[in-house]
């Protein structure tokens, strides 16, 4: 297990104007086909130039509704593992679809559920909610999230192109849901958490009884300048170790929250973080989904 020390940086005694003046400038991000896109222009290009087959499917939910999912297939002759990709608080976006396409380029079947399916006007999803997306996501309960992931997992495991193994990968809100799924789904092969926390954790404790039930190995990837999430990590790490749960975690110095989708931020630290985090992600998934 590789461990990188976690750092929480604090500035004391700075007025707002001084603090703003010291914010790192945005950088120009070069196009890199080996990484998920980190700017709006790169997202557009990635989706436009992809040669992989992507499609939207509606999966039947236990309550009779439909879960809209974006599914992307890799171009390979043998069967592939499935990665359930959990979007951030912005819901189903072009960026998360581009992340799924990158996963397919790297050899996995990627399934992105729109967790807001049926939550919008006239039963719509993310696209129908406009500025109310974030508020709608906050109303989703744990049981509903798990149920929707279970439906997507069952669909992926029934695909002829799949090898029957499933991992989950999530960002921000989705990172927390990725950890949630590791707590709740004993047949999950692996979980990747980008800057999310264990549900119910805080700076003082993590839910030991729930963590004790985890069966899947977990990879956590965090920005060094993300005090809100990082405050929950010491008790989480201690509890995971106490229960002998496989937990590989990395913190990237200088990177902020959401470093994957904002690669031009933090004066280059976000881009550096992605360049390290994505190969770690692929190696972890390949080990556990083969």
Q: Which residues of the chain have pLDDT under 50?
A: 1-21
What are the boundaries of each domain within the chain?
33-289
* Cβ–Cβ < 8 Å for 181, 85: no
Q: What is the pLDDT of residues 112-136, one digit of tens each?
A: 999 999 999 999 999 999 999 999 9
**Mean pLDDT of all residues belonging to the chain:** 92
Residue 181 has φ and ψ, to the nearest 5°, of: -65, -35
Helix (H) or strand (E) holding 92: none
* Cβ–Cβ < 8 Å for 85, 99: yes
Would you give the distance in Å from CA 112 to the centre of its chain?
Answer: 10
Give me the pLDDT at residue 25, please: 82
As a whole number of angstroms, the distance between CA 25 and CA 96 comes to 25
Q: In the structure encoding, which two tokens stand for residue 260, read together?
A: 């994957």
Give me the pLDDT at residue 212, please: 98
* Best CATH choice for the domain 33-289 from the list 1.10.3720.10, 3.40.640.10, 3.40.50.1820, 3.40.50.720: 3.40.50.1820
Calculate helix-pair angle for 173-184, 142-157, nearest 10 degrees.
Answer: 70
As a whole number of angstroms, the distance between CA 238 and CA 205 comes to 9
As a whole number of angstroms, the distance between CA 155 and CA 157 comes to 6
* Cβ–Cβ < 8 Å for 270, 259: yes
């Amino acid at each position: 297990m590789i461990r990188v020390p976690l750092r929480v940086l604090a500035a004391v005694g700075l007025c707002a104007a001084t603090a703003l003046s010291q914010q790192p400038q945005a950088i120009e991000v070069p196009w890199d086909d080996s990484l998920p896109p980190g700017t709006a222009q790169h997202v557009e290009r990635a989706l436009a130039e992809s040669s992989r087959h992507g499609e939207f499917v509606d999966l039947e939910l236990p309550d009779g509704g439909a879960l809209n999912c974006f599914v992307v297939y890799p171009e390979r002759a043998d069967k592939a593992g499935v990665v359930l990709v959990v979007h951030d608080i912005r819901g189903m976006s072009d960026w998360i679809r581009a992340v799924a396409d990158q996963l397919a380029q790297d050899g996995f079947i990627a399934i992105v559920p729109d967790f807001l399916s049926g939550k919008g006007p006239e039963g719509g999803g993310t696209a129908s909610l406009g500025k109310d997306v974030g508020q709608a996501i906050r109303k989703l309960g744990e049981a509903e999230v798990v149920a929707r992931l279970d439906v997507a997992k069952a669909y992926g495991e029934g695909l002829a192109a799949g090898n029957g193994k499933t991992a989950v990968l999530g960002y921000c809100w989705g990172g927390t849901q990725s950890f949630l799924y590791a707590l709740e789904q004993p047949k999950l092969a692996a979980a990747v958490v980008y800057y999310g926390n264990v549900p119910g954790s805080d700076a003082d404790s993590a839910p030991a009884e729930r963590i004790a039930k985890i069966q899947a190995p977990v990879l956590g990837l965090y920005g060094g300048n993300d005090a809100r999430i990082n405050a929950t990590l010491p008790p989480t790490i201690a509890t995971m170790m106490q229960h002998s749960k496989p937990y590989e975690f990395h913190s990237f110095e200088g990177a902020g929250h959401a470093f994957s989708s904002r690669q031009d931020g933090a004066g280059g630290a976000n881009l550096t973080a992605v360049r390290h985090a994505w190969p770690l992600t692929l190696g972890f998934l390949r080990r556990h989904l083969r």
